[in-house]
Structure 1
Amino acid sequence: MKKYVTDAPVLENAAISDGIYRMVLHAEKIALASQPGQFVMVMKPDDSGAFLRRPFGIADADAGAGTVTIIYRLVGKGTRAFAKMKQGELLSVEGPIGHGFTVGAGKTLLVGGGLGIAPLLFLAKSLPEKPVFLIGGRSEKEVFWKELLAPLAEKIYVTTDDGSFGTKGFTTTLLPDVLEKEQPARVVTCGPTVMMKGIAAIVRAAGLPCEVSLEKRMACGIGVCLGCTFLATSGTRKKVCVDGPVFDAKEVFA
């Protein structure tokens, strides 16, 4: 699987919610090679204070336009520096990296929480038929994603912890009803680990296949540093960067 390293010009970089930014980069070779579920490692070429690249799931890749989109949250020095970047500035991008989602036929239910929803955007765009989404957040403010998902989805179910929008509760609260109503062929989930574990258990009990996308801190992205490993249910250690980030849920959760 080919990957590239390029200094990509920033085309767009703007806040889409409080502390959440969307950045569009011109990176033709990476856009052409990218598959849903893969990620890129990025850093500012002129940032002498940043020694390591940061991983971001690919929220969109447009091969025709030669663009790659990432969505990120302001969490530290690096992402604050990204947020200040203007159109035309360069960001060093390495990718695409990792194994992505299965893009198969049949109705797909996509379940996401937090920034885990970002890579599901690219997957939804790539599926042969529009998927159903189930997304969750702590409050209505955190489910701004519904506007981004609307053009890509057959239907969107929303839960909020405080009940300020959609169904009060968690994605796991609503999932059994959604499975019964929508009768999906498979489920894909990305978000907080505790959420994905609960989703995987419900989906397994329903006898459906389930894929999960893991998020781990990474230093290298090529399987050398071993910073993103986890103990799989088989008893072997897996590397999220090269073995994933997408796995069959049975490999991750017992």
Structure 2
Amino acid sequence: MPIQQICTVVEKTWLSHDAVYMVLEAGDMVRQTFRGPGQFVHIKCGSSRLLRRPISVSACMEDSPEDLLSLVFESRGEGTEWLANRAVGDKLDVLGLLGNGFDVDWEGRYLLVGGGIGVPPLRGCAQCAQESDAILGFRSADKTLLIDEFRAECGSVQIATDDGSLGYHGFVDALVRKTLEQDRDYTAVLACGPKPMLKNVAKVAKEFGVPCQVSLEERMACGVGACLGCATPMADGTMKHVCKDGPVFRAEEVDWNA
């Protein structure tokens, strides 16, 4: 059951002109509600905005006297702009941890595939698995996030950029294919990013017989499955809520043609 907590900002860094790294003290939120890397929190962004903003958790840890959450997000609208302008010591009204995360076994071996702002939630996967490799995609070199952290926590890290300004010139699914052609001995592919990217990565993983889990992104209002705003079609004809049933699903569950 998610809890509502007044959290304190204890660290904040601008990673680029629009991306923020923020660490919160969160009471015992992690101890009470952690179910796997890839969950999110719902943050009240100022008194004048009715709807909370869903922010993926990059990493979290049980700590004393208060648990810690690290968030990485982009300032894209009024709500996230307000959040990005909070300072160390400010208080935030946070609901979490919400949703279901990736199914990660410490003894497993994982290929982490992220695109853009979908990269940060995979850091928790790297910390929860004994062995992982990462393929991270960005629009350009100036949009990269957390590369040094992934290099410290993964066996190998490959970078792709849309414009070729860093690493491979192209999309991450091409690197996934190249990697699995050489080594398909992974417990699973864990992917987070734009839906077209997820569709292509899931297709490649299926070709090589490697299980794939994907984290979907949808607009949401309530964050707990009550408003139906984030309903998404499944392959079996049903509808599931990204906020409550996800955001992480097995790739074969999703209707990629919807």
Pick the TM interval, shorter chain.
over 0.9
DSSP 3-state at the match of 2:126: helix
Equivalent residues in 2 for 1:15-164 (5 A)? Answer: 15-32=14-31, 33-34=33-34, 35-44=36-45, 47-65=46-64, 66-104=67-105, 105-127=107-129, 129-164=130-165
Structure 2 alignment gaps of length 5 or more: none
Q: CA deviation at 1:90?
A: 0.6
Q: CA deviation at 1:99?
A: 1.0
Number of residue pairs aligned between Structure 1 and Structure 2: 250
Amino acid at match of 2:146: W
> Which of residues 186, 202, 205 in structure 2 aligns to 1:203?
205
Percent of pairs identical after alignment?
A: 36
**Contact map agreement 2:116 2:139 (CA 8 A) in 1:** no
Whole-angstrom distance in 2 between the partners of 1:139 and 1:239? 32
Residue 61 and residue 21 in structure 1: after superposition, are their counterparts in 2 closer, same or farther (change >3 A)? Answer: same
Q: CA deviation at 1:218?
A: 0.9
TM-score when scaled to structure 1? 0.94
Whole-angstrom distance in 2 between the partners of 1:250 and 1:50? 37
TM-score when scaled to structure 2? 0.93
Over the aligned positions, Cα root-mean-square deviation in angstroms equals 1.3
Amino acid at match of 1:12: E
Q: CA deviation at 1:157?
A: 0.9
Amino acid at match of 1:72: F
Amino acid at match of 2:23: V
DSSP 3-state at the match of 1:80: helix
Runs of 4+ more than 3 Å apart: none
Amino acid at match of 1:54: R
Amino acid at match of 1:76: G
**Contact map agreement 2:108 2:131 (CA 8 A) in 1:** no
**Contact map agreement 1:222 1:241 (CA 8 A) in 2:** yes
Residue 144 and residue 6 in structure 1: after superposition, are their counterparts in 2 closer, same or farther (change >3 A)? Answer: closer
DSSP 3-state at the match of 1:147: helix
Q: CA deviation at 1:140?
A: 1.5
Whole-angstrom distance in 1 between the partners of 2:180 and 2:255? 20
